[in-house]
Each structure stands twice: as structure tokens, then as C-alpha cells.
Amino acid sequence: MSHVHARPLCVAILAAGQGKRMRSALPKVLHPLAGRPLLAHVIDTARELGAGAIQVVHGHGGERVTEQLADAQVGWVEQAEQLGTGHALMQAMPAIADEASVLVLYGDVPLTRAETLRALVTAAGDDGVALLTAELEDPSGYGRILRAADGGVTGIVEQKDASPAELAIAEINTGMLCAPAARLRAWLARLGNDNAQGEYYLTDVIAMAVAEGVAVASVQPRSVDEILGANDRRQLAALERIYQRREAERLMDEGVTLLDPARFDVRGRVRAGRDVTIDVNVVLEGDVQLGDGVHIGANCVLRDVQVGDGSVIHPNTLIERAVVGRRCQLGPFARIRPDSVLDEGARVGNFVELKKTHLGAGSKVNHLAYVGDTTIGRAVNVGAGTITCNYDGVNKHRTVIGDGAFIGSDTQLVAPVTVGENAVIGAGSTITRDAPAGELTVSRARQITVRGWKRTIKKGKEER
Ligand code: UD1
Ligand code: MG
């Protein structure tokens, strides 16, 4: 949209309601949608609009809200008593300049598209009011939009104050509106609470605007999903599914194959290259970047991970805060813990745990191993059952394995320890001192055979 609004935009987010129906100790707006508080999504949308200022009206569990969203860079306003939406907005007005346009959002309505709100701000213009409305098959519970014979909005009536004829109106008030600050301030000052709920209704300002001859426009969202709030956990779950479907569709539009878009969850920000394939029950959290041709098998969880082109993550693999290079293979059943880096062509197989480990290009840790606090060079083979003993009960120590080394199966590397380039460690060794480059180092009891030894046998049993 090319329209440049003449007034600075201030977003006021109403978030003081208790949310009784959540039956929760957690304030409603802190309940997570896609892993982040509902309110954080609304703040993101306000940011996306380029709002000059964002004021959040909080009340119930206020400290938890401001603490958890301390980095949000918004103005916090407390509404000590919840006396209605008009009263809530009134609390925010002292922080809002007269020349601003005020856009009102709800902290528990997280799926409104920025483009819808831009249209709302544009419809309000410099001096008018705009309401976001929707036609619902079942409008019960919502305020209804009253219109004159010529179609112009004349006011809003709340469900509890409505006549039977008004209750039959299908067009509802979503609660989101835009109005010039100076006018809003004057209208709010005149609000009364003589209504069925004894509350100061923000919705009453509409009739005041109409009485003053101020234009009241209305805008509808592209989809009804955009106006849905989370009043109970069923609604929250429904919002989660809508959010996830949107994310899945966005990724498919960008060229990602999802074997089942309904069994795929994003809780963060995902960027994917071309021809990425994601199997069922994959969860992507935090910041995830997937290169071209990456394939993720079923039941994988990736949190804050970068995966290079052509890498394959086999089923049931968990990767956290790691960088996986190009053409790597991980899993099935691998666990990559934070601060691990895999260079090109590295392989980590089943039942292998890596922590703070750099695995060089083409190196392999294929079966049943724990490798922590370790630097592994290129083309190293770490045998099955190898363990780095990186912790002495007090401190962590590093293991260093040079290029081309071969670590025999069931080896314990007691850190701090270094295995030189092209060194070979015999299977079953406990390595407590550095192993020199290019040599075979082995530390295990020599095998002996006791000739003629007899097994004890139970009485009455024949000797075989
Ligand atoms: C309000 C609207 C109604 C609309 C509906 C949409 C009014 C009077 N009515 O209804 O027309 O159809 O939203 O969902 O505005 N809040 C506060 N402080 C308060 C009261 C509410 O911060 O004192 C916040 C709540 O946290 C919530 C939002 O305002 O985010 C709406 O509150 P809610 O009680 O759900 O509004 P309703 O009265 O149901
Ligand atoms: Mg409500």
C-alpha cells in the first residue's frame, strides 16, 4: 500500500483481562502460541506496522507479563482494576500524543495480519474512525454493528445490552479500531458505565463519533481467523492449528515439500532453500535455516540450527544450537547438543550424542558414542561405543583428535587428551595420555587363554 499516513501511529494493546476460562495461574496473554506468548505475537504485528510507539495495558499478573516481555521495548501501563475496555484504553492515553493515530489491538488476539491493520489505519484516514468488523454465522457473545438505512455505522451494542432484533445482526465488532488520539481522549472522558455489565465500554465512542459527524469506516479481514481470540484452552489449541497451517503453507509456497502439513510444527523462524523435504512430526524451534535439498526424516526436533545444502537428518534426531555443514548425514536417533559444528560430509549415526564438538569434514561417529568438548579433524573414524571422559566431577576437559585418526571401538578418551594425526587407537583402550601421530596406541590387558580350565557344573548333571 502506498498511502503514507500523515499522523504518527501509536498502537495500544489491551491485555489486562484475567482470562478466567483458561483456568490457569499464568496470565492469559502469556500462554504460548507457537512457543511464544500470545502478547508477543501482537507486539510483533504492531512492530510490523511501523508503529512509533506501542503501549500495553496490563493488569492481572502484571509483573509476570512485564518480566517475561522485558525486552519487548513497549510502554507498560497498569490497569489496576478491570473496569472495561474503555477504561483500559483510558489508562494508556496519557502516554499518547494528541497528533497520533491510535490503533487498538487485543493482547489475546494474535493472528491479525499486518496488511489488514494497514487497511484499517488507511480507512480511518487523518481524522476519521475505522472499525474492523466481521460477519459471523454465530455472532453470539460479540458486540453488534448498528447501521443506518444508508448503510453508515451508527454505533455498537454489546450482546448483553442488545434487543432481540439487534441480536439477529450478524456483523460483529472485533474490538480492533483506529481513531485520532485527540478525539479519542475527549470521547473516553465522557464514557459512562450505565449498562448491563457496569463497565466503561470502548465501543460507546462510536455513537459519539457519529453524533459529532466524524466519519466511521469499516474494514473486514481477509479471513475470520484474524479476529479470533483465546479465551480458553480449546480456542488456544484452535489458534495454534491455524498458525501452524499458515506456516506450513508459507513454506510450501517457498518450495518446501511437507509430507503432511498437519503434522509439522514451527515455533520460531524458519528459512528454507529449494527442494527441502520434511517428513511427519518434525518440530522446528527458534531460528532454523535449511539449505537447498535438505531432507528431514520423521520425528526430528531442530532448535536454533543451520543445516547446509544436501544434508540428510534421519528420523528421531534432536539437534540443538548447532551448525551442520553441507552433505552431512545425521541419525537415526542422534542427539546433537549445543555448540556443535559438523563440517562438510560429516556423519553422526544412531545413539550418538555430541556436545560442544567440532566434527571435521568427512569424519564419522557412526554408532553408540558420547563425544563432548572435543575437536575432531578431517577424515577421522570414531568407532562404536567410544566415550570421551570429559568431566572429572569438577571441571570439563577437551579432547583433540587429529586428521585421519582411527579410534577403535569401545575406547575411552580421558580428557584432557590429544590423539595425533593418523594415529590408531586399538579397540577397548582407555587412553589417559596423549597418543602420538601415526602410531598405534593400545591400552588393554593382553588376552590370555587358560588351557585345560574346567567350568564348575551342577551336581547330577553329566559332563558334556
Ligand atoms: C469486547 C467488545 C465487543 C467485541 C469483543 C470482541 C467492548 C465493550 N466490547 O467484548 O464489542 O465484540 O470485545 O472480542 O469493548 N480488557 C482490558 N481491561 C478491561 C477489560 C478488557 O484490558 O477492563 C482487555 C482484555 O484483556 C481483552 C480485551 O480487552 O484483551 C477485550 O476484553 P473482553 O472482556 O474479552 O471484551 P468483551 O467485553 O467480551
Ligand atoms: Mg473476549
Residues 317-370 have pLDDT tens digits of 999 999 999 999 999 999 999 999 999 999 999 999 999 999 999 999 999 999
For ligand 1, mutation pick of 56, 85, 161, 167 (most atoms within 8 Å of CB): 85
Residue 464 pLDDT grade (very low, low, confident, very high; cuts 50, 70, 90): low
Q: What is the pLDDT of residues 12-69, one digit of tens each?
A: 999 998 789 999 999 999 999 999 999 999 999 999 999 999 999 999 777 899 999 9
Dist. CA 250–CA 258, nearest whole Å: 11
At 2 the pLDDT is: 45
203 lines ligand 1 (CB under 6 A): yes
Q: For this structure, is 87 an active site residue?
A: no
Distance 68 CA to ligand 1 centre (A): 23
Q: What is the pLDDT of residues 60-115, one digit of tens each?
A: 777 899 999 999 999 999 999 999 999 999 999 999 999 999 999 999 999 999 99
Q: Nearest ligand to the C-alpha of residue 14?
A: 1
Model confidence at 1: pLDDT above 50: no
- Determine which residue's CA is closest to atom 22 belonging to ligand 1: 16
Model confidence at 413: pLDDT above 80: yes
Distance 115 CA to ligand 2 centre (A): 23
Dist. CA 391–CA 16, nearest whole Å: 48
106 lines ligand 1 (CB under 6 A): yes
Distance 81 CA to ligand 1 centre (A): 14
CB-based contact 153:161 (threshold 8 Å)? no
87 lines ligand 1 (CB under 6 A): yes
Give the count of beta carbons closer than 10 Å to the beta carbon of residue 79: 22
372 lines ligand 1 (CB under 6 A): no
Counting every residue written for the chain, the total comes to 464
Distance 397 CA to ligand 1 centre (A): 57
143 lines ligand 1 (CB under 6 A): yes
- Cα angle 408-324-264, degrees, rounded to a multiple of 5: 120
- Burial of 300: CB neighbours in 10 Å, binned 0-12, 13-18, 19+: buried
At 463 the pLDDT is: 55
Atom of ligand 1 nearest to the CA of 15: 26
Q: Nearest ligand to the C-alpha of residue 55?
A: 1
- Burial of 369: CB neighbours in 10 Å, binned 0-12, 13-18, 19+: buried
156 lines ligand 1 (CB under 6 A): yes
Determine which helix (DSSP H) or strand (DSSP E) holds 6, and give its type and residue range: none
**Which of 66-75, 292-301, 349-358, 453-462 has the least mean pLDDT?**
453-462
Distance 215 CA to ligand 1 centre (A): 23
107 lines ligand 1 (CB under 6 A): yes
CB-based contact 314:296 (threshold 8 Å)? no
Dist. CA 326–CA 17, nearest whole Å: 49
Measured in degrees and rounded to the nearest 5, phi and psi for residue 388 equal -90, 125
- Burial of 226: CB neighbours in 10 Å, binned 0-12, 13-18, 19+: buried
